[in-house]
Amino acid sequence: MTRFNLKNLPLVFRVDANNHIGAGHIMRCIALAQEWKKGGGNVVFLSCCESHIIRDRIVDEGFKYIDSATLSEQDDTQNTILILNGLSQAFWLVIDGYHFSDSYFQSIREAGYQVFLFDDVNHRNTVSVDIILNQNIDAEKMKYNCSSDTKILLGVKYALLRKDFFDYRGRQRIFPEKGNKIVVTMGGGDSENVTLEILKSLNLINDPELDVIIIVGPSNIHMDSLIKELSSSLFKNELRISVKNMPEIMAWADLAITAGGSTCWELCFMGVPSLVVCTAENQKHVINGLNRRQIFKTLGWWKDLDIENISLEIQELITDRQQRFRMTNLGKKLIDGKGSERLVNILLKNFKGYRQLRIQ
């Protein structure tokens, strides 16, 4: 791909995370930011993030974090433009969040900046941005109401993975006859405590050979109920909060039980056979697409979960080596891990100062 000189060129992100806005929004922004920094660019996060762990993660990556306290949209817009004005050569603002309106985008563009928007559900009547990205499966079928000059990027070829996953590129997975090693991850907040239902299902299996790692986010408010449920478990278990070695855990696992967020692309890349719970409306089309292609198997909508049925589904995948083998291969074919590189090149080629950046 084309090479660029990104020295001192800032990429600015406007993204939030709390108990209602999943951490996946920030995590995929971090993946894009890592690729930008890899090319020598600077990264700035404007964020209202409740978790100090996630804030520390942003800073530890070498990115600048500016707290964007909860403001009215008008104040938020003015604050963002003020920060952009203070940065040399800041043309791109990357926005990830459903709570930003089209008037917000228009104000940023009228101030002279280009807007790159992450989207998942195509819920807006109009979208006034320079580039819109929907990285989800079957996104190609969506029709966005944009102006003719908006560049639309659709599909899993743009799926974003953080750089720590790349150490596992090409890794061959081992398929034991019985897949005892299980990872459970229901997102950073898991406000509905779906994790507890999964643990109840695992307890029904009553198998001491199982080895389960349960991952919860820093904003999870249900720790006491999870600890209580695990206290009666026969299987080996470990409850971890805000892990930094997710690729290592995925490489260890024989299978996963997960929510339908951006973790799905990581599991596909890592070749982890997975059972998926739909925990939000914006996950439905992703889960249905993965289920239809037999890459993952859906457990359904979180409100309709039946622990006995989940228990049976888990047992089936644990003991079906061939099914796990097929799911692994299909997942790896779907996600190649080059999404961040593709997006950085697109951002630069559509950047107003492109001619000055290109290295001949």
3-state secondary structure the chain: CCCECCCCCEEEEEECECCCCCCHHHHHHHHHHHHHHHCCCEEEEEECECCHHHHHHHHHCCCEEEECCCCCHHHHHHHHHHHHHCCCCCCEEEEECCCCCHHHHHHHHHCCCEEEEECCCCCCCCECCCEEEECCCCHHHCCCCECCCCEEEECHHHCCCCHHHHHHCCCCCCCCCCCCEEEEECCCCCCCCHHHHHHHHHHHHCCCCCEEEEEECCCCCCHHHHHHHHCCCCCEEEEEECCCCHHHHHHHCCEEEEECCCHHHHHHHHCCCEEEEECCHHHHHHHHHHHHCCCCEEEEEHHHCCHHHHHHHHHHHHHCHHHHHHHHHHHHHHCCCCHHHHHHHHHHHCCCCHHHHECC
210 and 307 together in one domain: yes
What's the whole-number mean pLDDT along residues 296-320? Answer: 97
Same domain for 180 and 313, yes or no, is yes
pLDDT computed for residue 121 by the predictor: 87
Co-location of 129 and 200 in the same domain: no
Which pLDDT value is given to residue 50?
80
Residue 5 lies in a domain: no
- Give the domain extent around 263: 165-334
* 190 and 138 within one domain: no
User: Could you tell me which residue, 47 or 8, shows the higher pLDDT?
Assistant: 47
pLDDT of amino acid 90: 80
Q: Is residue 2 assigned to a domain?
A: no
Tell whether 195 and 330 lie within a shared domain.
yes
What CATH number is given to the structural domain containing 347?
3.40.50.11190
- Identify whether residues 209 and 254 lie together within a single domain: yes
Q: What is the arithmetic mean of pLDDT over 262-279? A: 96
**pLDDT for position 5:** 63
Same domain, 289 and 346: no
Please report the pLDDT score of residue 53 as a whole number: 85
23 compared with 149, residue with greater pLDDT:
149
Predicted confidence (pLDDT) per residue in 26-71, tens digit: 999 999 999 999 989 999 999 988 888 889 999 999 999 999 876 7
| pTM, full prediction | 0.91
Please tell me whether residues 238 and 280 are part of one structural domain.
yes
Average pLDDT over residues 273-279: 97
**In terms of domains, do 91 and 222 share one?**
no
Q: Please state which of the ranges 15-19, 207-211, 274-278, 298-302 shows the lowest mean pLDDT.
A: 15-19
pLDDT tens column, 190-209: 889 999 999 999 999 999 99
CB atoms inside a 10 Å sphere around CB 49: 21
Average pLDDT of the chain is 91
Residue pair 273/317 in contact by the 8 Å Cβ criterion: yes
Please give the Cα distance from 11 to 37 (Å, whole number).
9
Residue 360, pLDDT > 90, answer: no
Per-residue model confidence (pLDDT) at position 3: 53
Residue 48 lies in a domain: yes
pLDDT value of residue 4: 55
Residues 179 and 308 in one domain: yes
In 3D, which of 158, 232, 218, 203 has the Cα closest to residue 310? 203
Note whether residue 40 is domain-resident: yes
Q: Domain check: are 58 and 124 in the same one?
A: yes
pLDDT single digits (tens) 216-260: 987 788 999 999 999 999 999 999 998 889 999 999 999 999 999
Domain presence at residue 35: yes
**Mind listing the pLDDT tens digit for each residue in 142-171?**
999 998 899 999 999 999 999 999 999 989
Q: How many domains does the chain have?
A: 2
Specify if 3 maps to a domain.
Answer: no
Q: Residue type for 356, please? A: Q
Is the domain of 213 the same as that of 308?
Answer: yes
Which CATH number do you get for residue 227? 3.40.50.2000
pLDDT above 70 covers a percentage of the chain that reads 96
| Separation of alpha carbons 293 and 291, rounded Å | 5
Q: Is the pLDDT of residue 10 over 70?
A: yes
Residue 1 placed within a domain? no
